[in-house]
């Protein structure tokens, strides 16, 4: 349906641009110049509306990455969500055997990639073992190696227990009930 709409806009825009040129030369002189200019500009605008529609849809779905020329070292991910929707996002090979996608902030092992024309693609289902937030993984690894926490939950409990044991604040010391007596 989108392609039919885009084709219609483009076709109507081109017809509006060239309709004056299809008329016989004798009748073209009877049409004012401003009307011919307006028809030509209106045709250009209608044609551009069709192209903007297709570009915005490609941008929204991620298919714009398939319209660009293929780049070596870039692998487009077809990230399949559990509800069946697909997000197309570029990924890159940072280290050997590992793929990283800055759009998803995720890293996975490279197993198999496919080719679509000059693009390499990788189908990545949502349920495979990858880190959705690499910063949180690095933070958890730091907490484990440096401080010995088994999980982020243990680190949170430790911090909240520490905050409960801290000294009373200045405001609590000023308005303590012991001074009123």
pLDDT tens digits, one per residue of 90-138: 887 776 667 777 777 677 777 777 888 888 888 888 766 565 566 677 7
How buried is 80 (Cβ within 10 angstroms: 0-12 exposed, 13-18 middle, 19+ buried)?
middle
Which residues, in sequence order, are CB contacts of 135 under 8 Å at separation 6+?
105
Is the whole model's pTM more than 0.85, yes or no?
Answer: no
**Segments making up each domain of the chain, as ranges:** 2-61, 67-125, 134-166
| Secondary structure class of 172 (helix, strand, coil) | helix
| Helix 33-61 / helix 2-18 crossing angle, nearest 10 deg | 160
Dump pLDDT digits (tens) for 47-94: 999 899 989 988 888 888 888 887 777 788 888 888 888 888 888 777
CA-to-CA separations, 161 to 136, 143, 145, 157, 165, in angstroms, rounded: 22, 17, 21, 6, 6
| Bridge partners (DSSP) listed for residue 119 | 116
């Amino acid at each position: 349906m989108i392609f039919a709409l885009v084709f219609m806009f483009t076709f109507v825009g081109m017809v509006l641009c060239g309709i004056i040129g299809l008329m016989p030369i004798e009748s073209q002189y009877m049409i004012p110049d401003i009307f011919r200019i307006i028809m030509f500009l209106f045709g250009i605008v209608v044609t551009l509306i069709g192209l903007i529609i297709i570009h915005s849809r490609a941008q929204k779905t991620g298919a714009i990455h398939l319209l660009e020329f293929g780049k070596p070292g870039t692998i487009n991910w077809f990230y399949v969500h559990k509800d069946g929707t697909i997000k197309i996002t570029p990924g890159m090979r940072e280290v050997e055997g590992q793929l990283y996608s800055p759009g998803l902030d995720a890293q996975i092992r490279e197993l198999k990639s496919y080719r679509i024309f000059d693009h390499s693609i990788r189908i990545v289902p949502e349920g495979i073992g990858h880190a959705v937030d690499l910063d949180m993984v690095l933070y958890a690894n730091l907490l484990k190696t440096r401080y010995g926490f088994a999980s982020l939950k243990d680190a949170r409990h430790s911090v909240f227990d520490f905050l409960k044991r801290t000294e009373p604040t200045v405001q609590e010391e000023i308005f303590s009930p012991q001074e009123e007596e």
